Structure 1
Amino acid sequence: MHTRTTSISRLAGGAVIAATAVALALAGPGAATAAPGDKNTPNGPTIDIQLLSFNDFHGNLEPPTGSSGRLVLDHALPAGAAKPVDVTTDTLTPPGVGGVEYLATHLAQAREGHPYSLTVAAGDLIGASPLLSGAFHDEPTIEALNALHLDVSAVGNHEFDEGYVELQRMADGGCIDDGDGANNQNSCPDGTFDGADFDYLAANVVYEGTNETILPAYSIENIKGAKIGFIGMTLKETPDIVTASGVAGLEFRDEVATANALVPVLKAQGVNAIVVLLHQGGTPGQETWYGPDNKPYQVNPSYDAACGNGAELDPMSPVIPIAKGLDPAIDMVVSGHTHQPYICSIKDPAGNDRMVTSASSFGRLFTDTTLTYDRRTQDIVRTSVQSENLLVTRNVDRDPVETQLIAKYKTLVAPIASEVIGQISADITRAPNAGGETALGDLIADAQLADPSVIGPYAAPVIALMNPGGIRTDLTYSASAWGEDPGDVTYEEAFNVQPFNNYLVSLDLTGAQIKELLVQQWTGVNAAQPKVLQVSAGFAYTYSGTTLGQVTLNGQPLVDTTVYRVVTNNFLAGGGDGFPTFLAAGNVYYGGLDIDAFAAYLTAHSPYAPVALDRIIKQ
């Protein structure tokens, strides 16, 4: 906790130990114009407060490249074209958006003229990070977020990538004795790590069998006597999408029930203005865009598309029922997880509009929200809340503190990052065929199948299965971050493809269980958004809709009663991504890291060329 020069002070509280109440300071006379407690009309002296927010940063300290640094600006209808095309941030000068040096500058510029400003985030600030941060257990990202003056953040699912104890270290500081570079990681290269200056909140994550949260449940920000309470939560399904061992002994509770239970806790401390920082989100559908011919077209939504102004959230978006169920006392929701930009109003249970925002991902956007705080009702005037998503363009001065931090860690990581481990003859991408198979997925699955570390006392695996969400970026032929020749693949490039440091796991599954896993790709929790597992050479199957067709191994039908040795990563082996059948596997054996298998396979098969996508066929 600290006091800032803008008279903003912070108090964080948990679900078990309540925070100390802070007296409200009333300022100046004013005539009442509405009944106390009315959220829609000012009742007395007011103060204008700015709320800057972002989400899903994922350790992107350097400017993200390719699709990760791209957003849709607008649309155009070329002469003679039947359909519009996206106009993206690639057309900017310089092209692309994002990079913490630019984010810090944009936030500083946005604060100008706003003496009372808070900066908050909605989780996944760390985890699945590029090597520059991941090689140091994401300590560089925490330092960078401290430098851009983040005040409060919810945790997301990726904050649990290295386990909840490591998340607590991110918040509190301290070093890991990791062998000074074991697994190409190195904690505290300078000897110390102070942890987060901001409050990391986890209101709905408790130790199993208790009501004790692993981190504070809420934070109270005091701006010259105007108190705003922030409740921070991750999605309750987090155990389904993280490695099981990292969250063992924890309980993830319902988001609505958790937040609503904290409303009276905050009110008892004189806090009526409440904002939820939620790591769960929505997905905008197609946007209606009118071309120069005045005809409507359905197009990809722009970064600044707003609900009710040509864009709407998909009605199946998980954030919608959460927002509809949150107590009317909650004034705003800052969301994340889906990596989508949106500014929407969703009715609360009292029928009043409530702002719900999300700022895409990777530091490409931030949301600028202005609101009025009524000192007599001690609450936010709901109708005053105005939000706008703003681009983190690269045409501003780079923040010198962030630039220095990046330079420091680039020097430290250079010997690991710049090592050329193989070559590719063309781009190897995540672009799927009609069945969901990708060239990069094939490469990774083949690398896992070939890894000798997973054999142990058992037979060598004959099938590899890889989750598509674990493949984070493409291998690009022309990339040359360290001056390497075109086609050369550095360790950094390989790590950025698979940044989780997952372990490979071999296990026994019957043919019937393997077929069950394939069906789970599009059923159960994956019904709304199917997850097509990437498979190794020799394994193939067909499907139509949600019906599984022929499944073969080396051209022979899979036999339901036969036991097959399968290799996957520990995330899937723990039932992650909605594949619970893995939990019934036998003879589970842990091998080495997935990134080591990937790097070794590239070295042994260079130059690697993309193979035909004929393993997964949608009929």
Structure 2
Amino acid sequence: MIVPRPLRASIPALAVALALAGCASVQQRAPIDINLVALNDFHGNLEPSKYTYTDAVTGKKESLRAGGIDTLGGALAAWRREDKDLLLVAAGDLIGASPAVSSMWADEPTISALNMLGLSVSSLGNHEFDGGRKELLRQQHGGCDSPRPSKACQLAPNFGGAKFGYLAANVTDSATGKLLVPAYRIESVKGVKVGFVGAVLQGTPSVAVASAVAGLSFHDEAESINKVIPEMRKQGAQVFVVLIHEGGKTDESPDKVGCERLEGAIVPIVQKLDPAIRLIITGHSHQGYLCNVDGRVVTQAASFGHLLSRIKMTVDPATGGVQGIDVRNVVMKEGDFAPDTRLTEYVASVKERSQAALARPVARLGAAPILRHQNEAGESPLGDVVADAVVAATRAQGVQIGFMNGTGIRKDLEAGADLVASFGQAQAVLPFGNTLVVMDLTGAQLHRLIEQQWDRPAASDPIVLQVSNGFSYAWDSSKPAGSRVVPGSVKLNGVPLEDAQTYRIAVNNFLAEGGDHFAEFAKGTKRIETKIYDLDALIDYLAKNPGVGAPNASLAPSVRIQKVR
């Protein structure tokens, strides 16, 4: 057979073309999917609890039991069968403000359970600082040398610490300038290097006990994150994911993809981040959302393990370019996933060790639950009870007025069918282990203190102070911040306060040190550190006042806070 000359001449060219095509097929691999699951604000909730949300499709409110570490473990096991390279990551507050089954053991059960889940990395949250720097580092590295010796290593003699890594690019030692924990970690996933960089809200000192963060500096979140991106690139990072314990709020459903009405502290942070960062996993505000902010995906999975965020990043493996991000918030409804039996058995063993203390009856209520939800004026039934308990516990020190920060009341006060509340149920209300401080403030200072409720930087809720019986005031929402208290309305036992007169008050040590931006508390004089725990004060008050919570009982307080418009 005679091959025509043109074709014969093209054979070498064809061979070269085929060879080049083969090289291109090696270099231009198909996009890959990197699967992440995100958790935030777990707060030691090893067991399921009530979750209420608005359905994105129907617009109706739904309430159900969700969460539980064994349900989370079951969901992760199912998803890892789909992708063995899936990574579990978190955005802080995994511990602290925890139910008694975790907090009574220094949150070691939660750390151990998260290890069993296979958590890879988490940003620090403000509650990781609850026990101070020393305890935070013990939680990370293990050991028994703790400022809480009555709790640490009591569940088991050897605590190995977190197998996952805590990250924070914006927390340094004030004296040395060195980072408290690493800023970032790079994980190799399907041949792509993914860099996770962590941060905690710069305002942590305002929401932590001052002594717990002494000697630490908290820097601008976006600047700190952006600063380490070049270093991460040098180490081969191709994809960048931010884990940050700061968040926002939206009126959109937690399962609405691409929400556009996100507001709050996280938004300006996101807007300042390096353009290479396409995914920001957030926390702190306890909201579920899947939002877009300036072309970036910003997620949060509510709190207490009620949701998990499933995130699929489609990536060019050669360049690391993110071609798409698919996100969903999945409700961890009981029964939707086969529980992880290892975790079920682990929690059962911890509960068995804890049962005697948790089940101890402390008081009979008049009605249950006593709710922490605040009315339009800012007053809640449970806030009234706690503030009254603060005064009752410190009456011997001459206390006339008690205050409680509403954000420190973590759950409603529940009780059994017989209306008897247990120690565990009371502890869930006040889980921080705060102590009471007595001080003097003038009438003028108390006026300024009340006004500060609406004039605080980074305030997530405008009303946070619950007040004791006999103390009352009215406020006007139509007035500007700083001038909302109705003149002459601030009274003690029906008598208007006098600016120059001194009043004896009691608060927890968090507020006493100026927490939540209430600077006036830090200026109080003639201070006494009572060493009385707020939880002990509440339990003692409940025991001495059976019937608390009954709507028509003689113990029911009169209205203390009024909103005139």
In 2 relative to 1, CA 527–416 (structure 1 residues): closer, same or farther, beyond 3 Å?
closer
**More displaced stretch, 216-225 vs 561-570:** 216-225
Q: Does 1:151 align with 2:120?
A: yes
1:325 is matched with which residue?
272
Secondary structure of 1:339's aligned partner? coil
Q: Does 1:475 align with 2:413?
A: yes
**More displaced stretch, 605-614 vs 560-569:** 605-614
1:460 is matched with which residue?
398
CA contact (8 A) 1:306 1:312 kept: no
Secondary structure of 1:189's aligned partner? coil
In 2 relative to 1, CA 281–442 (structure 1 residues): closer, same or farther, beyond 3 Å?
same
CA contact (8 A) 1:227 1:271 kept: yes
CA contact (8 A) 1:119 1:150 kept: yes
2:428 is matched with which residue?
496
Matches within 5 A, 1:44-443: 44=29, 46-65=31-50, 69-74=51-56, 86-90=60-64, 96-176=65-145, 181=150, 185=151, 187-285=153-251, 301-307=252-258, 311-314=259-262, 316-347=263-294, 353-377=295-319, 379=320, 381-395=321-335, 396-427=337-368, 428-443=370-385
Instruction: Determine the C-alpha separation between the residues in 2 that align with 1:565 and 1:74.
Output: 50
Computed over aligned residues only, the root mean square deviation of the Cα atoms, in angstroms, reads 2.0
Instruction: Determine the C-alpha separation between the residues in 2 that align with 1:217 and 1:178.
Output: 26
Instruction: Determine the C-alpha separation between the residues in 2 that align with 1:404 and 1:244.
Output: 38
In 2 relative to 1, CA 179–50 (structure 1 residues): closer, same or farther, beyond 3 Å?
closer
2:509 is matched with which residue?
570
1:548 is matched with which residue?
485
Secondary structure of 1:447's aligned partner? helix
> What is the letter of the counterpart of residue 597 of structure 1?
A
CA deviation after TM superposition for structure 1 residue 432, in Å: 2.2
Secondary structure of 2:506's aligned partner? strand
Report which of the two has the higher share of helix: 2
Secondary structure of 2:349's aligned partner? helix
**More displaced stretch, 495-504 vs 427-436:** 427-436
In 2 relative to 1, CA 75–192 (structure 1 residues): closer, same or farther, beyond 3 Å?
same
CA deviation after TM superposition for structure 1 residue 613, in Å: 4.6
1:606 is matched with which residue?
546
Under a length normalisation based on structure 2, what TM-score does the superposition of the two structures give? Answer: 0.89
> What is the letter of the counterpart of residue 351 of structure 2?
K
Note the residue ranges of structure 2 that are not aligned, 5 or more in a row.
1-21, 551-555
Q: Does 1:596 align with 2:543?
A: no
CA contact (8 A) 2:113 2:343 kept: yes
Q: Does 1:582 align with 2:527?
A: no
CA deviation after TM superposition for structure 1 residue 228, in Å: 0.9
Over residues 17-72 of structure 1, what are the superposed CA-to-partner deviations in whole Å (9 max), with x where a residue is unaligned? Answer: xxxxxxxxxxx954599xxxxxxxxx64543211111111111001113xxx3333
Over residues 579-600 of structure 1, what are the superposed CA-to-partner deviations in whole Å (9 max), with x where a residue is unaligned? Answer: 1111111122112111011111
1:518 is matched with which residue?
450
CA deviation after TM superposition for structure 1 residue 526, in Å: 5.9
Instruction: Determine the C-alpha separation between the residues in 1 that align with 2:433 and 2:148.
Output: 16
In 2 relative to 1, CA 204–447 (structure 1 residues): closer, same or farther, beyond 3 Å?
same
CA contact (8 A) 1:153 1:277 kept: yes
Secondary structure of 2:87's aligned partner? strand
In 2 relative to 1, CA 29–406 (structure 1 residues): closer, same or farther, beyond 3 Å?
farther
CA deviation after TM superposition for structure 1 residue 524, in Å: 2.7
> What is the letter of the counterpart of residue 492 of structure 1?
G
Instruction: Determine the C-alpha separation between the residues in 2 that align with 1:513 and 1:368.
Output: 49
Instruction: Determine the C-alpha separation between the residues in 2 that align with 1:331 and 1:29.
Output: 30
> What is the letter of the counterpart of residue 194 of structure 1?
G
CA deviation after TM superposition for structure 1 residue 369, in Å: 1.0
Instruction: Determine the C-alpha separation between the residues in 2 that align with 1:320 and 1:401.
Output: 39
The number of aligned residues is: 528
CA contact (8 A) 2:52 2:61 kept: no
Larger Rg: 2
Instruction: Determine the C-alpha separation between the residues in 2 that align with 1:616 and 1:366.
Output: 38
Secondary structure of 1:385's aligned partner? strand
State which of 549, 561, 564 in structure 2 corresponds to 1:616: 561
CA deviation after TM superposition for structure 1 residue 89, in Å: 4.1
Over residues 294-340 of structure 1, what are the superposed CA-to-partner deviations in whole Å (9 max), with x where a residue is unaligned? Answer: xxxxxxx3330123xxx4334x4211111111001223111111111
CA contact (8 A) 2:56 2:256 kept: no
CA contact (8 A) 1:438 1:613 kept: no
Note the residue ranges of structure 1 that are not aligned, 5 or more in a row.
1-27, 34-42, 77-83, 91-95, 286-300, 348-352
Secondary structure of 1:514's aligned partner? helix
CA contact (8 A) 2:260 2:292 kept: no
Instruction: Determine the C-alpha separation between the residues in 2 that align with 1:235 and 1:586.
Output: 30
**More displaced stretch, 158-167 vs 602-611:** 602-611
